[in-house]
Amino acid sequence: MIKRLLINHLFLLFFILILSACSTNRQAVTKGSKTLTETIDQRFKHAGTQYKLLMEDLPGDKLPKTFVKANNYLETSGPDWWTSGFYPGTLWSLYEETQDSALLKEAKRTLKLLSKQQTNEKLADLGAIMYNSFGTAMKIDPELSYQKALLNSAKTLVKRYNPKVKAIRSWDTRQNDKEFVVVIDHLMNLELLFWATHATGDSSYYKVACNQAETIWNNHVRPDYSTCQIVTFDTKSGKVKHKRNAQGYNDESCWSRGQAWALYGFTSLYRETKDPLYLEYAEHIATFILDNPNLPKDKVPYWDFNAPEIPNTYRDASAAAIMAAAFLELSGYSVENGKSYFKAGETMLETLASPEYTALLGANGGFILMHGAGYIPVMAEVDVPLPYADYYYIQALKRYKVLTQSGSGVNASFKFP
Ligand code: GLY
């Protein structure tokens, strides 16, 4: 009996020793690991070094599109591809954070490449392309030529507006006279139009932007606040002909990047108008994301919230980066939910900043983030770096820096980068 008690006590002692060793270890890890705030400037530096490697391989008249690891190939585009504004915009932001003149030189060089697009009436993404590049430059080092490029782009873009549909035409089709396509992605054109009204006092741009937002809210956003990507209207009557998804899993599913564009778009609508309706819209979109059982704990979404293969399918770092930037901004506007939006944005950023998503120096063709999902249904740009993932990641890091350094975390009343 005594022997058994002794053994039991020894066993208990051993167990306590193991537990306390584990807890000492855990403390050591916590003490040793640095927070995102503590490492944020290193992250900008790392990103700047990556982009200096990326620029070495870039042909003079091209912009980076993605990197194919299997054959070490940098895929590029011309300046009229929808992603062309992100590389210059990221360079400007990284220059602002690091003051590295090589980044500034490349940023200015690539703006020149884009300049001709300001009169391109066929470019449905003109607003996003020009605002993310020239618009970012204007915030950092304004020049008259940038202002002219932005204003001309706004004038060009509104030529695609249809007052019956109350939206800007997204894609040109052979059926232009009969069909009028509007995609949720093009909420991202609207910041340029607000900028144009602020710059000129002409409210017509502002009205077009609000009308387009309303058209998208009424037609692309479903009753459960998920979104569909494409709505086709009758060009003459403005009536809805059909709704579908191209980049999502199927017509009823919720494509994650589309949901991210909606979150970012309606948040920016609230920023520009201060109309509480847009805050309400953004919060409904946010609730769909945060309450979705298919959103992983680390908060980087799968490429579609309804992909049947979840959890055995691709994540989309670009959707997470866009959402992170939007959640951090939204955290400053929502009195009720600010803290949970901040936490969501922070978790997304922490995951993206981890080695799981951030490439090692010199890897990933010079892009910053890995694991983006471009167009999964046609297996194009699958599990790759994407320039828009990098752009919104850097923007989110900048927002996080401002929010955490302001000491408030939520409800801050400063200008968001
Ligand atoms: N077409 C824009 C996107 O892929 O998000």
Q: Ligand 1 mean position to 387 CA, how many Å?
A: 12
Residue 257 has pLDDT above 90, yes or no: yes
Given this model, what pLDDT does residue 4 score?
54
Predicted model pTM = 0.91
pLDDT digits (tens, 9 = 90+) for 201-220: 999 999 999 999 999 999 99
Q: Please identify which residue in the block is written with the tokens 């694991």.
A: 371
In a domain, 413, yes or no: no
- Mean pLDDT for 305-334 is 98
In a domain, 415, yes or no: no
Given this model, what pLDDT does residue 105 score?
98
Given this model, what pLDDT does residue 8 score?
52
- Mean pLDDT for 310-324 is 99
| d(C-alpha 325, C-alpha 395), whole Å | 6
Given this model, what pLDDT does residue 413 score?
54
Given this model, what pLDDT does residue 33 score?
72
In a domain, 412, yes or no: no
Q: Ligand 1 mean position to 256 CA, how many Å?
A: 11
pLDDT digits (tens, 9 = 90+) for 327-359: 999 999 999 999 999 999 999 999 999 999 999
Given this model, what pLDDT does residue 309 score?
98
Locate 7 and state its tokens.
């053994």
**The CATH number of the domain where 243 resides is what?**
1.50.10.10
Given this model, what pLDDT does residue 34 score?
86
Say yes or no: CB of residue 186 within 6 Å of ligand 1: no
Given this model, what pLDDT does residue 176 score?
93
In a domain, 62, yes or no: yes
Given this model, what pLDDT does residue 265 score?
98
pLDDT digits (tens, 9 = 90+) for 59-109: 999 999 999 999 999 999 999 999 999 999 999 999 999 999 999 999 999
**What is the 3-state secondary structure of 206-245?**
HHHHHHHHHHHHHHCECCCCCECCEEEEECCCCCEEEEEC
Q: Ligand 1, residues 83, 181, 185, 227: which to mutate, most atoms within 8 A of Cβ?
A: 185
- Mean pLDDT for 142-155 is 98
Quote the number of domains for the chain.
1
Atom of ligand 1 nearest to the CA of 183: 1
Given this model, what pLDDT does residue 24 score?
36
125 is an active site residue: yes
80 is an active site residue: no
Given this model, what pLDDT does residue 414 score?
56
In a domain, 411, yes or no: no
Residue 11 has pLDDT above 70, yes or no: no
- Point out the catalytic residue in the list 100, 125, 304, 316: 125
Atom of ligand 1 nearest to the CA of 257: 5
Residue 395 has pLDDT above 90, yes or no: yes
Given this model, what pLDDT does residue 193 score?
98
| d(C-alpha 7, C-alpha 133), whole Å | 72
Which domain does 129 fall in, by range? 2-405
Q: Ligand 1 mean position to 229 CA, how many Å?
A: 9
Q: Ligand 1 mean position to 408 CA, how many Å?
A: 34
Please, which pLDDT band fits residue 173 given cuts at 50, 70 and 90? very high
Mean pLDDT of the chain: 92
Q: Ligand 1, residues 228, 230, 257, 318: which to mutate, most atoms within 8 A of Cβ?
A: 257
64: three-class secondary structure by DSSP: strand
Residue with the nearest Cα to atom 2 of ligand 1?
185
Given this model, what pLDDT does residue 9 score?
56
Residue 31 has pLDDT above 80, yes or no: no
In a domain, 393, yes or no: yes
In a domain, 382, yes or no: yes
Distances from the Cα of 392 to the Cα of 9, 309, 368, angstroms: 57, 27, 11
In a domain, 246, yes or no: yes
Residue type, 377: P
